[in-house]
């Protein structure tokens, strides 16, 4: 059975463990206990809106896996739920979605995922869609609003044109230059594109920054490069371009209350609002949650 498993809203403004870390633990759980062939965790961003409660970015995390056909799915569900309840922040509102690719209505799920990026969706809409699409959806604490993002994440992951890889590709030296053919030998990089969507030649050179952002495009793990420097070496498109909101007026360094956010939610290593545990992204800036 090919499954897509997603969770959302497992953390809080001050929790030390992010949703991505819990998703990785769930992936390891199904790998060890249920002999699953696992893939990688991706993060999917939804609408940021005043009517949507979220911790920092309003994003969900999840993965795909293949389990034996005789897997006891009720046992697997129970184990995942128990782990989420155990590891989620007490004040969080977690949700879990498990979809069997062979049984689910993919069109409904993809449509729901896209809508989560465009407008405010409700828990009732999530449950209605889950029932119609034949997927398992459940809340595991608090208000259970995390079911919206969990279901949306499944749709976007299946769509294959949304989301970014949690963390960075391993076994590659960063902050140095690599040929494209070397990058694409890594199991977590399938292709390198320029910003117009053209595939780079194997001999092209790319400067790999410290935390390169890998995107999911056309079902492939993709690095997007922006432009060449004076030496003809491609530079990776800044991940900050799409996520730094509000301009320098809200950029604050040296704040005595600065606390680093969990790794998957930081966009750089700067000691600034952009990477602080207490910042909450808004439509046009950042709100500090530290009283």
Domain boundaries, the chain: 2-165, 176-236, 248-288
Rounded to whole angstroms, how far apart are CA atoms 239 and 249?
19
Whether residue 252 has pLDDT greater than 60: no
- Give, as one character, the DSSP assignment of residue 283: S
The pLDDT-based confidence of 236 (bands split at 50, 70, 90) is: confident
Q: Is the pLDDT higher at 150 or at 19? A: 150
Give the pLDDT of residue 248. 38
Q: Which of 80-94, 96-110, 172-186, 226-240 has the highest mean pLDDT?
A: 96-110
Q: Is the pLDDT higher at 286 or at 93? A: 93
Rounded to whole angstroms, how far apart are CA atoms 102 and 209?
39
Whether residue 242 has pLDDT greater than 60: no
Q: Against a cut of 0.85, is the pTM above it?
A: no
CATH no. of 2-165: 3.30.70.2200
Q: Encode 159-171: b = buried (16+ Cβ within 10 Å), e = exposed.
A: beebbbbbbbbee
Among the residue ranges 18-32, 100-114, 171-185, the one predicted with the least confidence is: 171-185
Rounded to whole angstroms, how far apart are CA atoms 140 and 147?
9
Among the residue ranges 56-60, 161-165, 220-224, the one predicted with the least confidence is: 56-60
The pLDDT-based confidence of 201 (bands split at 50, 70, 90) is: very high
Whether residue 249 has pLDDT greater than 60: no
Give the pLDDT of residue 241. 45
Give the pLDDT of residue 125. 97
The pLDDT-based confidence of 56 (bands split at 50, 70, 90) is: low
Give the pLDDT of residue 245. 31
């Amino acid at each position: 059975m090919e499954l897509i498993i997603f969770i959302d809203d497992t953390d809080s403004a001050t929790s030390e463990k992010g949703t991505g870390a819990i998703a990785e633990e769930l992936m390891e759980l199904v790998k060890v206990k249920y002999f699953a062939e696992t893939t990688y965790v991706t993060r999917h961003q939804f609408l940021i809106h005043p009517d949507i409660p979220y911790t920092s970015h309003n994003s969900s995390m999840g993965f795909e896996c293949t389990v034996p056909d005789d897997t006891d799915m009720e046992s697997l569900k129970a184990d995942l739920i128990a782990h989420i309840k155990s590891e989620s922040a007490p004040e969080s509102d977690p949700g879990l979605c498990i979809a069997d690719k062979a049984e689910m209505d993919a069109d409904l799920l993809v449509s729901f995922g896209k809508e989560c990026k465009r407008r405010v969706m409700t828990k009732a809409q999530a449950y209605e869609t889950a029932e119609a699409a034949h997927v398992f959806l459940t809340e595991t604490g608090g208000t259970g609003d995390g079911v919206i993002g969990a279901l949306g994440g499944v749709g976007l992951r299946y769509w294959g044109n949304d989301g970014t890889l949690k963390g960075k590709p391993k076994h590659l030296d960063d902050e140095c230059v690599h040929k494209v053919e070397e990058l694409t030998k890594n199991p977590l990089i399938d292709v390198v594109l320029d910003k117009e969507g053209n595939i780079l030649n194997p001999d092209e050179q790319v400067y790999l920054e410290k935390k390169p952002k890998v995107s999911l495009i056309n079902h492939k793990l993709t690095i997007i490069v922006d432009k060449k420097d004076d030496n003809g070496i491609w530079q990776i498109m800044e991940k900050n371009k799409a996520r730094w909101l509000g301009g320098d007026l809200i950029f604050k360094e040296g704040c005595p209350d600065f606390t680093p956010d969990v790794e998957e939610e930081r966009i750089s290593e700067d000691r600034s609002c952009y990477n602080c545990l207490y910042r909450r992204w808004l439509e046009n800036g950042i709100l500090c949650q530290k009283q």
